[in-house]
Chain A
Amino acid sequence: MQTVIYAARKIITMVPNRPEASHVAVRDGRVLAVGSLEEVAGWAESGQAGSERAGSERAETGSGDFRLDESFADKVLLPGFVEGHAHMMAGGVWQFTYVGFEDRISPEGVLWGGLKDIEAVTSRLRQIESELEPDAPLIAWGFDPIFLTAHRLNRFDLDQVTMDRPIAVIHSNFHLMTVNSMALEMAQYDRNTNVMGVDRGEDGEPTGELQEMAAMFPVMRRLKIDIRSLARTEGGIRAYGKVCHRSGVTTATDLINDLPLEDVELMASITGEESYPARLVPVLNAHTAPAEEIAAQALALREKSTDKLRLGSIKIITDGSIQGFTARMRWPGYYKGPDHGIWNIPPEQLMTTVETLNAAGVHMHIHVNGDESSEVAIEALARALRKNPNPDHRHVLQHCQLADAAQFRKIRNLGLCVNLFANHIFYFGDKHYELTVGPERAERIDACATALSEGVPLAIHSDAPVTPMGPLFTAWCAVNRVTPSGRVLGAAERISVEDALRAVTLGPAYTLHLDHEVGSIEVGKKADFVVLEDDPLSVDPMALKDIGVWGTVLAGRLQPVS
């Protein structure tokens, strides 16, 4: 087996003894050595242990039985990014037309420019409309009214695109949509409609904006907007791999999935192809059956794991979202606006579910947004672990956005991990400051610095497609904590670039029980790298998000983006 030595401008390893290096040797898809050329070349010259066909291969350059590859001579290598909380539908959603504010690149590599006003949105829709089949609805996604403030997008804007086919523009949070008159008509919405979430103007007529599932349901049903299938088709799985690839991610979660057997087989087959660009970690939805059955299903799934498909963990959702006022908040509750704090599972049922799954040795991801849900989840885990000590359990509190310092200390004492929603600081930070939780608690949202100083294993995430996948952007959020209004939200919670990079590599690998295989560049681990155009440790921290991603290396296989 040939050994390839990659020379790089810099290799950032996440390993304390040699945090930076110039060369990495790869053999059998694994890291053979990291260091200087002289150091790593020693492997090629000495004995060829582990190389069954020593001498049969000729070095192209360099000496001995290795090939020196200088493709990355001006690039910077990091461990492949690990996205610890995202969703497979981040790929399939691109079958709809992107109309968001920021530039985004589709899985196919097409740059979709950010749309800075409503004119631009309707103009793009008009263009796409002209290319559609006669009977097809026009469905768009990614629209974010926070940034387009001239007026609220309404049906009249969309009627200018067409009156002859239904249009639905799904907002970036997936909780709202704006539709045209034809779609309203199909749903039989008119001035006599009195349904929560069907927005009406001063004239009493529907404006076209539909808020939350009840109001959206009739439109989604009639336009056949099937969000579930986005994550279940071959196309969706492939598109997700491309989304990961473009953002430098080599290991990605799909953080809730019912995982019927046929889907698992499809994922195993697709990820099994050498060219599939990422390792996937789909996590079982624990809400579909009693805890005992979920435990059995998770343990059976674990056995179905392959090299690039890792199974066996489960997810429990305890509450809603902060921006939707549905996260469960402790006293004094929400700052302004309605208190809709909603449990997704009764606390006492959470207690028994967590106990059962922990007793069975199942690894858990628990979605907690508000500080009351984090409190209850911590208590549930404390009781479960007291009853059935489970060393090295690494249960993860996902999002955990409003935990305070005392909760982080408990989290540490219980051996729990957190995966904080750093992208949220940018996307929703201003709203949290002004509206949902108020200035003081907004400043401690996604408290990365507190988590680290209290010694809690930390990962940070995008929750794609809720916010775009891009670990460099996620790191940028944790490092700078800047919001669109220019506010620095909680200066003391900013973390160093080094720490942020760890929180998108080794940190999430640890939360997935994969840190022995991925997340750092060190001997024995998978040769999974992200290849960057610049050095994140030397650029201005505000430029971290702008560093180009050349591509990735997966198990030693070079995967350029373009």
Chain B
Amino acid sequence: MSSGDQRLPLTVITGYLGAGKTTLVNHLLRHADGRRIMVLVNDFGDIAIDADLIESQEGDTLILANGCICCSMGGDLFYALSDALDRQPRPDHLLIEASGVADPTRISEIARAEPELRLDGTIALLDALGFAGLVDDAQIGSSVVRQIAAADLIVVSKSDLQSPDALSELKVQVAALAPTARQIEASFGRVPLEVLLGSLSSAEVDEIPQGCANRDHAGHDHAHHDHTEDHEDLYSRWSLSRDCIFGQQALAEVLKDLPAGLLRLKGFVKLDGRWALVQAVGGRVEIESLPRVPDHIKHTTLVAIGLKGQMDTAELDRLFSR
């Protein structure tokens, strides 16, 4: 958010070797959309940043033409994070590409502990073709299971190469490991930025028509996005802007019932005499008290993105008019 929250949002990207982390990171950097994303990678052996994105290199740091930065952690997360927080100007979003076997909670817990960081989410990638074999691997299985269990969003790559039957079996298996996480199928890392990174620019907030509930506004203008991928029509959006006041308890109840296909929900909710910042990624919901909101926010304002056909926008309307 543009104001009210100065914390640096942190997203952890986890997944075993070959699951598509590098592709996803490249996709994100290519579609950073003006955000200065800083990516920390375990080492440069894990990640190959597309050469055309790179402007210059300073030691272990790659400077990208669009203002993004990519740094090697060299196995030392503590200093990489400290340096990221101390960097001037501070990046808009921090992305950590964990090693193929790291326990992502060891990284995400830092974001929960550090007052200047905000955990934006843990995204796990899994390879639809290789996953079943990995889970059963005596040496790797437990690491892979831990990654999936820690995730808020699970991006299933190479799903187009897997048979429909095997794919639905896989989904059941993954859902059992991560009951509250949301699964997204994607080829070549093509997932919209707003799904991967929850932070919402003020421009996006401005776009929300004030005063009425909106559903699935297909004509929504994303001119400032580079959403040219054909996978864009896999997602639907919903937003709400309404002059209404929620009770704290009522809000918590509503957020417990979010529809299954919802990937992210974010916005400001007017409570009695104060504001709450609401952020949901996958099944994880955070409600935080805010001292103030950006000037242009006049009343309860929420946006959501979900999987088309799975996020029931009518259900969202009903929930928030309760």
Contacts and interface: CB of A to CB of B under 8 A. Distances in A.
B16 to A, nearest CB: 7
Contacts of A547: none
A188 interface: yes
B1 to A, nearest CB: 20
A288 B60 contact: yes
A441 to B, nearest CB: 18
Contact of B106 (A187, A214, A228, A293): A214
Contact of A342 (B76, B110, B143): B143
Contacts of B72: 288-289
B317 interface: no
Given A221-B82, A288-B75, A346-B140, A195 B112 contact: yes
B99 A345 contact: yes
A217 B45 contact: no
Question: Chain B contact residues (Cβ within 8 angstroms of A): what range?
Answer: 35 or more
B188 interface: no
B232 interface: no
B74 interface: yes
Contact of A289 (B45, B78, B85): B45
Nearest to A373: B139
Of the candidates B16, B43, B79, B115, the one having the most CB atoms from chain A within 10 angstroms of its own CB is B43
Nearest to A218: B114
A142 interface: no
Contacts of B106: 212-214
B44 A289 contact: yes
Nearest to B76: A228
Interface residues of A, number: 41
A265 B269 CA distance: 58
Contacts of B85: 221
A293 B45 CA distance: 9
A215 to B, nearest CB: 6
A214 B110 contact: yes
Nearest to B85: A221
B100 A196 contact: no
A347 interface: yes
A290 interface: yes
Contacts of A344: 75, 99, 101
B58 to A, nearest CB: 13
A213 B78 contact: yes
B13 to A, nearest CB: 15
Nearest to B81: A217
A339 B109 CA distance: 18
B187 interface: no
Contacts of B44: 289-290, 293
Nearest to A197: B109
A227 B78 CA distance: 10
A445 interface: no
B99 A213 contact: no
B17 A349 contact: yes
Nearest to B106: A214
Contact of B109 (A196, A287, A289): A196
A343 B113 CA distance: 24
B142 interface: yes
A342 B82 CA distance: 24
B77 interface: yes
Contacts of A197: 109, 113
Interface in B4-34: 16-17
B105 interface: yes
B103 interface: yes
B43 A213 contact: no
- Most chain-A CB neighbours within 10 Å: which of B44, B82, B102, B113? B113
A214 B114 CA distance: 8
A282 to B, nearest CB: 15
Contact of B139 (A187, A227, A347): A347
6 contacts: A195-B109, A288-B74, A289-B44, A290-B43, A341-B142, A342-B103
Interface of A: 187-188, 193-198, 212-215, 217-218, 220-221, 227-228, 258, 285, 287-291, 293, 317, 328, 339-349, 372, 376
Given A289-B43, A328-B139, 15 more contacts: A193-B113, A198-B113, A212-B106, A213-B106, A215-B113, A227-B78, A228-B76, A285-B74, A342-B143, A343-B139, A343-B143, A344-B99, A346-B100, A347-B139, A372-B139
The 7 closest A-B pairs by CB, nearest first: A214-B109, A290-B45, A288-B74, A287-B75, A343-B101, A346-B100, A195-B113
Interface of B: 16-17, 42-45, 60, 72, 74-79, 81-82, 85, 99-103, 105-107, 109-110, 112-115, 139-140, 142-143
